[in-house]
Structure formats: C-alpha cells, structure tokens
Amino acid sequence: MNKASVVELKLPILALPDTVVFPKQNVIVDIAGKAAMLAVQTGMGSCDQTLFLVAQKGPSSESGEIGDVYPIGTVAKVQQVLLAYEDRLRLQVHGLYRGQVTELQNGSLCTMAMVARAEETGRQDDMAARAMRRVAANRFKKYLNITERLEPNLLRRLQAAADCGEAADIIAQETDFNYADKADALCELDARDRLETIASKLDLELQIAQMETDIRDKTLMRMDQNQKSYYIREKMQVMRGELGEEDDEDEFDAYEAEIRGLKLEEETEKKLLKELSRLRRQPFGSQEGAVIRNYLDTVLELPWNQTTKDRADVEAARKILDKDHFGLEKVKERILETIAVRKLAPDMPPQIICLVGPPGVGKTSVAYSVARCLNRKLARISLGGVHDEADIRGHRKTYVGAMPGRIMAAVSQAGSCNPILLLDEIDKMGADYRGDPSAALLEVLDGEQNKTYRDHYLEIPFDLSKVMFIATANTLDTVPRPLLDRMEIIELGSYTDEEKLMIAKDHLVGKQLRKHGIKRSLLRITDEALREIITCYTRESGVRNLERSIEEICRKAAMQLADAEDPKRITVTGKNIPDFLGVRKFQPEKLGDTDEVGLVTGLAWTSVGGETLEVEVNVMDGSGKLELTGNLGDVMKESAHAAMSYIRSHTDTLGIDRDFYKTKDIHVHFPEGAVPKDGPSAGVTVCTALVSALTATPVRRDVAMTGEISIRGRVLPIGGLKEKTMAALRHGISTVVIPKANEKDLEEIDQTVRKHLQFVTAETVDTVLHTALDRSL
C-alpha cells in the first residue's frame, strides 16, 4: 500500500450499512437516522458538496454514532437529492476517489474525518493485467445475459475504462456481490489483485445466476401445469352443472335472495345485483372474486331494516338516571326533555348532543344511561388520535385490505339502524396530509345530509337520520367551528366536595366492595375518611382518582382479610387513612396569617377544574422596567400591560406618584413557574396587586377575585365561574369579586358554595380595589 497523499481534507463521514460506493460510479443511496441526516446536511452546506462514504463492519447503533468501519472509503459528491422525507433521504452521489481516514473529530453537528487520498498500486499495463481484464469483461458480459440486464451502455463503460482498477470498480459496483466482498474490494489498493479477486467472485456469481435461471424455468413450467389443471377444473365444473350436481350457483342464488328480501331502494338493490353479476363471471379462486364476496358480506351484515322500539317513559328514565348518576341536574333535565319529545313526536330526528366537561365527571357513562333510558343499542367510537379521513368515511374497495369507516362499522356492530353512537373524545382528533376527519364528520352530524350518507367502501346510501349521536369532549377550543354548529353543547361542571362524598357513598364504595369480593360487614369507610381522600389525596374535577383511592383501600383491606384466620371488621377513618394510602399528597389550603402588600389571590380555570392563583408584586427603585415571570402566555402578559395603562392614567385618584413608571422597577410574578398560564381573567388580580404594592396598602387575605380588565378600568366577563368559586371555597376564601356581567351565572353555582361565600359584583376596578384593599391601616 502506498503512503497516503500529504493533502488532507476535513469531510463529514457517513457510514453506509448496506451500500458500497466505488470511485467514478453514480450510485443511489438511502440515508436514515438523525446522525446521518446531519452529516448530509453538513456536506451539502459546503461549497463542493462532498462527503466521505465508508462501509460499516458491524450493525449500526441506535444512536447513529460512527462504529467500526473499513479503513478505506470513497470521497463522493452529492449530485442530486431525489426524495426527501422527515427522517430519511434518497441521494444520487458520484464517487470521486478513494480516501483513507487519518483522524476522526467531533464537529458541531456530526463526526468529521481528516481524509487523505489513497493512491492505487500495482502494474496495470502488462500482459497479465490485460489478459485478466479481458477474462473479467467476458464473465461480466455472460453475467449480464443470464440476469437479463441488457445494458449496452454498461459494456461500453467497461471497455472505455482507463485501467484495471476502474474496470474492477465498475464490475464490483454493478454485480450482486455481498456487502463485505464489495467493501474488501474497495479497500484493495492493488488494482491487478482487485480485478483478479473480482473475476474469481464473478465466476461464482455466474454459477448462482445460472441456478436461479434453472429454478425460474422450472417454476414457469409448473405454472403452465397449474393453468392446465385450472382449465380441467373449470371444464369439470361445467360438466357437473350439466349433470345437475351442486355448484357455486347455490351461493349466488342465496346472495340474490337475501338482496331482494331486504326490500332496499332501487338504486341500492341495482348496485348489489350488479356486483353479484360480476361475481358470477369471476373464475374460481380469483382475487377479484374474493373482494366482491367480502363486499357483499359486509353490505348484507348492515342492519338495513332492523330497529329497536324506543321506550318513551319519562318517569322510568328519571329513575335510571338518578340511580346511575348523582347530581348533573342540567344534563338529566335535557335528556328527559328529549325522551318527552320522542313520546309526542316519534318521527322527529334525534338531536346531536355534545357533553363537555373535565375528565372523570361522567360524560361517557351518561351516554350509556341514555341508551338504557331509550332502550337503544349503543356503539362507542373512540376518536382520540384519529387523523385520517378514511377512518370516518372508509377506504375505496379497490385498495388491498379496504374496509368501511368507523361510522358504518359501529352501526353494523350495534345491530340496528337507530342506535346511539357515542363519539368519544371528539376534541382530540387531528389532521394531516391524509385529510381532516372533522370535515368528514360534518356530513355525518348534519340531519339534512346524513339521510343519504355514502361510505367510500359501500358506495351506496345509508340512512343515518335515525341514529342518535352523543359526542364527548374535555374542551371546545380544538373542535372546528362548523362541527360545533351542528351539535347542542351541554356542559358538565366539576363536582363539589359534597357531591363527591355522596357519589362515593352511594356508588363507588359499593362498586369496589363487590369488585374485590369484600362484604360490607368486613370493611367500613367512614365519611371522615372519604372527606380526607377528597381534600388531601385527590384534586380533580371528577371522581376518577377518588375511585382509584377507594380501590387501593379495598386491595389493602383484602390483604389483611386474606391473611387473618378469623377476619375482623376493618374500619377506615380519617386518622388511619395514611395506613392505606400513605402520606397526604395535598395539604389543606389555608389562608395566610396576615394581610400582605402586593399579594393577591386570583381564581383560574383549568381542564381539571378551578384553582387559586396567587399574584406577587415587588416595587423597587429603578428606571421603570416591568418584568413579568411565571411562565405566562401572551394574553396574560397583555392583561398586565392593560392594568399598568389603567394605573398610569389614574395615578391621582389612586394616590400614586405620577412618575412611578420612570423611577420604579416593578416585578410581577405568578408562583409555580413550571406550570404554563394564560388567559385574560387575571387582569383585575394583577391590577389590585400593582396598586397594593405601589401604595403600600395590604390586601385582604380572605378575598379572591376574577375578571378581565380593560385599559379604561372596566371589569369584563369571564368563564368557568362555577369551578373557580369551588376553588375559592376550598382555599378558605370568604369573599369573591366577580364581573357584574357574570351575576347571572350565580344561579348555576352549587347552593353549598353560595351559602359559604359572599359575592361582590364589579363593573369597574374601583369596586374591586374598594373590596380587596385594607385602607384601615
């Protein structure tokens, strides 16, 4: 081996796990993995767009790091990017010359290699070299003929090769040598030895290719025999028909009788009979015949004329709802109204209802209760994570593995054409290049269009107007507006602590005792223990975690009962609850001991219910900077600036120095900085905290507030008042300041909350400040 050239280049190194690129050859290579993509990105960013391509000895690591590679590689130029995806590339590269790695370095994006040119050795113009080149060329020509690769241009390139080394590289690149043999050929710098090795391996490839040809010929011969057998079977089938023996006609007659017996519309019946006619003409065992059979079976399994009789009994429905659910009066009332309308007008199309609320408040279970009330069958469609329109509408039956969409599959599963379809988690659908499933639902949920709903797989109209759709969602923010317009929204709010206690006593405890096989006489969970679980072990809008905690108590109790020879009754109280559930996960919320300056309690709404939100303000000598911290969103930052604008325009009224914005630095902070916060409802809270800090006036610690602020000092309405007031009660607040426009929403607040809280309605910030600031000091 000659010594490497003194000139070295610093190139990004790319280890190819299944491709070897030789000098002066154009090759298509596939790139995958983050490290490889970064290497290509670095090479493409250089002026000459070159990479150093090496063969890899071992399997590639999951991290994409450069492992054990061959010492010799190829300096190659990227000619073209043929395909580009998110995680892979297809490139056309041209090998320039062999190179040898002298040093590996860590670059900013990928591993870089110092590469020196590796010069070829050995005589290439003597008689032996010319003879070997001729032998290799003849074998390569035979190889192309056997493998039916008639490429005249390839042979011309081989004849025009400048020397033995280039001829060896062309043959090695274009034959099906295994990866290791190609890599060894690339590392062989003696041109004559390389050509001799390749000619030897080419002889072996000729033998393998000849064997493959013989096998292919035998296979074709057997296929001819199969065709002959098929012809004979078809002839025998005709003869059996002539003799009156049983054949496929019985199956076809059964299909036709079933189609005509359904009494379908003319268009649908004509379509199915046409498909049956095509099936009759299909040869035995054909793939098209299997597709048509599957299509007919799917269509005939649909409940075309099967319905369940509605039970329009309002009193019976009320008993079922009260038994299954505690509270939820607004939801129950709406469901009973629907049943009453069904009793008076049975032919009226059912309404499309969307139940919206935090997790665990009973949205899905309400749908099951409605099905029991109406005596209808129910099928659940989970839409969470669905991002393909074909999931809703189905696939064209020309595709392999095609099937109906989820809507028709659910109707078929229900077994009636008037079921209740539960569209669960409708707010969690996505959309990508395959379509938008929410747009496909527009036709499904439109009472004027779904009478003739056409699934892509069925290609015939199906009447969905008798179907009652109930959708569930945690939030409406992600549901498209046209889809919302087609549904009646019913909100399910958070449960109060008293409601959770009653649900646990009446439903959850008994359910878990039965589930774990424990008699009520052996395990008692006191009200005190349940209250402790609600306040100190679960912080949620619903009762899902509460049920899990009761389940955990039952498991611990089952262990004690199973180990005892003479089991005694176990009583769970507020004092021994840590023995079953461990230490408290949440400490009871308490008010501070004293009123503080610049510290105000606000109220916030989250997807899991209401929360209290403290705002802290510090005022320092400075140059007028306003700093906002606490992982705030843009809307909340704008609320803080709106509050500053109001204060600056009312400095005389508020008793604040007119130049405070020039001489003071103000820091507004929302604790729990790891939690993102956004929304306009903290506007009055920020304003009160700023005024308190600038005037050194304490804020009453028993007052909480919520409301959006305008730059003119108006207090604007907010949402989630029910959940926010529950959070205030839990925190020990006695007075809550709300916008005047939200006064009407007080009717929806639980009576327990209204009894313990004093509500102050405010149209302007003046009312808020008068209520919250303690000016007696």
Alpha-carbon span 241 to 609, nearest angstrom: 73
Residues belonging to the active site:
681, 724
Alpha-carbon span 281 to 167, nearest angstrom: 57
Task: Please tell me the number of Cα atoms within 13 Å of 604 on its side-chain side.
Answer: 22
Alpha-carbon span 577 to 571, nearest angstrom: 10
Structure tokens at 108: 């900013």
Q: Are 420 and 371 in contact (CB under 8 A)?
A: yes
Alpha-carbon span 770 to 777, nearest angstrom: 14
Structure tokens at 534: 């609600």
- The DSSP bridge pattern shows strands 468-473 and 420-424 to be parallel
Alpha-carbon span 130 to 77, nearest angstrom: 31
Alpha-carbon span 427 to 384, nearest angstrom: 8
Alpha-carbon span 401 to 406, nearest angstrom: 15
Q: Please identify which residue in the block is written with the tokens 């010359």.
A: 97
DSSP letter string, 143-190 = HHHHTT---HHHHHHHHT-SSHHHHHHHHHHHS---HHHHHHHHH--B
Q: Are 665 and 622 in contact (CB under 8 A)?
A: yes
Alpha-carbon span 310 to 373, nearest angstrom: 9
**3-state per-residue secondary structure call for 20-45:** CCCCCCEEEEEEECHHHHHHHHHHHH
- Give the number of residues written for the chain: 777
